[in-house]
Amino acid sequence: MIFESLLDSAQTIFAFVVTLGILVSIHEFGHFWVARRCGVKVLRFSVGFGKSLWSRTDRHGTEYTVAVVPLGGYVKMLDEREGPVPSGEQHLSFNSKPVLSRIAIVAAGPVANFFLAIFALWLMYMVGVRTLMPQVGEVIPESPAAVAGLLPGDEIVAVNGTETPGWQAVNMELLAYLGESRSISFSVRSGEPGEVAEGAVRDKNLQVVDWLVSEEQPNPIRSLGIIPYSPEIPAVIGQLSPDGAATRDGMKSGDRVLAVGDEDIVGWMHFVEIIRDNPGKPLQLLIERGGNTENIQLTPGSRSSEGVTTGYIGAGVMQVTWPEGMIRHLQYGPVESIAKGAQATWSLTTMTLESLWKMVVGLVSVKNLSGPITIAKVAGASLESGLENFLYFLAMLSVSLGVLNLLPIPVLDGGHLLFYLVEMVRGKPLSEKVQTLGLKIGVTLVVGVMMLAMYNDLSRLFQ
């Protein structure tokens, strides 16, 4: 258990460093590439902060370095505001360039993040995406879905006119409407649960009012009363831990649990609940093995977490095969993948902007903000679950970084752009006093948001 925990932690850290390294490198390369083409001398290109772990200097005098703290990076340019500049190099300084050149250099970082998102999604669509057909398994009575007339077996073909080939697409489309009062149109095709839907497409309108306002962890699909279809998971033992209670008491892979004591077992989760509720207590199991029934006494182990003791036996469920046609493999050619990637990047950008605005006006809870701990955990999980999931996560994070950096807050790229746009209108820069005040306000806002994100991370970690 300790070894597995250490391995998971190492994988999480590795995924976090790789993800952040890619995002920062591309962002800073955008600044670097445009600065070079605008005739600005770049002194240092750093990925990370603090003490240098590796560095080299090119023929232009630019030092490339990888630093010890992988929480960002920077491009240092020749600038008279940051130190003396030799008279022969004043024309190479950032502050000597026309305002349009400075705007291009500053904007290039966030723009590079959008291009990275398009590239990641292009590659994802080229490799192919596996997704589950969005078929309704159950409809909760009196829910918006039930009132609208959705039925078990319905496939959700589109949401408000946007095609939804899988559950991820349904969820992403619904997230755009959090906090709103409106009608959400579902285009559905009738079918039987577990079978590919072949009925005629019909439209159903679901009404929501102040939908999931201030919800900390919104689940749009479930909140509408929709339970996605999944095949029945029988209580059949799959993998066994060599030192677990199941192995110790003689259970084998393939055993089907029929009953525990006098209680018939109706599925895997039913069996799991009984095990969890009986730590250290001997249980009489009726199992089916090789076509015959046998009785086994099983005593679950016990473990405690946050003062609660639960049982476990060190066994996993036998993998369940999904019905044919329920798992879709979406794959496109090089040209079509570019269009798909650009379209998905635009959707992520608009959703990010709308979510930020809804947080500001209180329609979406600020507890949805995430910091480095959550990002690291999601990065590790996405890398473990496959290339396509990691590429999508990378695209989402890259879009978020691009959007956040373009916000008109001094200290961010967007704040510098705001100063330069004002300079264009006025014909001269803002005074040093005004810029310094703006930077102080910007730093306060950014640090405040970072502390809130870290607080949310720690709250989730200890819940």
Taking only the tens place, the pLDDT of each residue in 236-260 is 999 898 889 999 999 999 999 999 9
pLDDT of residue 175: 86
The topology (CATH level 3) of 130-229+321-330 is Pdz3 Domain (2.30.42)
Residue 168: name the closest of 135, 196, 141, 131 by CA: 131
pLDDT of residue 383: 60
* E strand map for 290-400: 292-298, 301-305, 308-312, 315-317, 327-330
pLDDT of residue 89: 85
> What distance in Å separates the CA atoms of residue 274 and residue 295, rounded to the nearest whole number?
17
Contacts of 367 (CB under 8 A, 6+ apart): 216, 456, 459
Q: Where are the domains of the chain?
A: 100-128+332-463, 130-229+321-330, 237-317
Taking only the tens place, the pLDDT of each residue in 295-349 is 999 999 988 776 788 899 999 988 888 888 888 888 999 999 999 999 999 999 9
Residue 134: name the closest of 62, 175, 191, 83 by CA: 191
pLDDT of residue 106: 95
Higher pLDDT, 384 or 334: 334
Q: What is the mean pLDDT of the chain?
A: 87
Taking only the tens place, the pLDDT of each residue in 21-67 is 889 899 999 999 999 999 999 999 999 888 889 999 999 889 999 99
pLDDT of residue 1: 43
Antiparallel, parallel or unpaired: β 162-163 and 182-189: unpaired
Sign of CA dihedral 49, 450, 414, 20: positive
Which positions are annotated as active-site residues? 28
Higher pLDDT, 169 or 4: 169
CATH code given to domain 237-317: 2.30.42.10
Residue 195 has pLDDT above 90, yes or no: no
Residue 114 has pLDDT above 90, yes or no: yes
pLDDT of residue 112: 97
> Do the two domains 130-229+321-330 and 237-317 of this chain adopt the same fold?
yes
Radius of gyration for the chain, computed over Cα atoms and rounded to the nearest angstrom: 28
Helix (H) or strand (E) holding 98: none
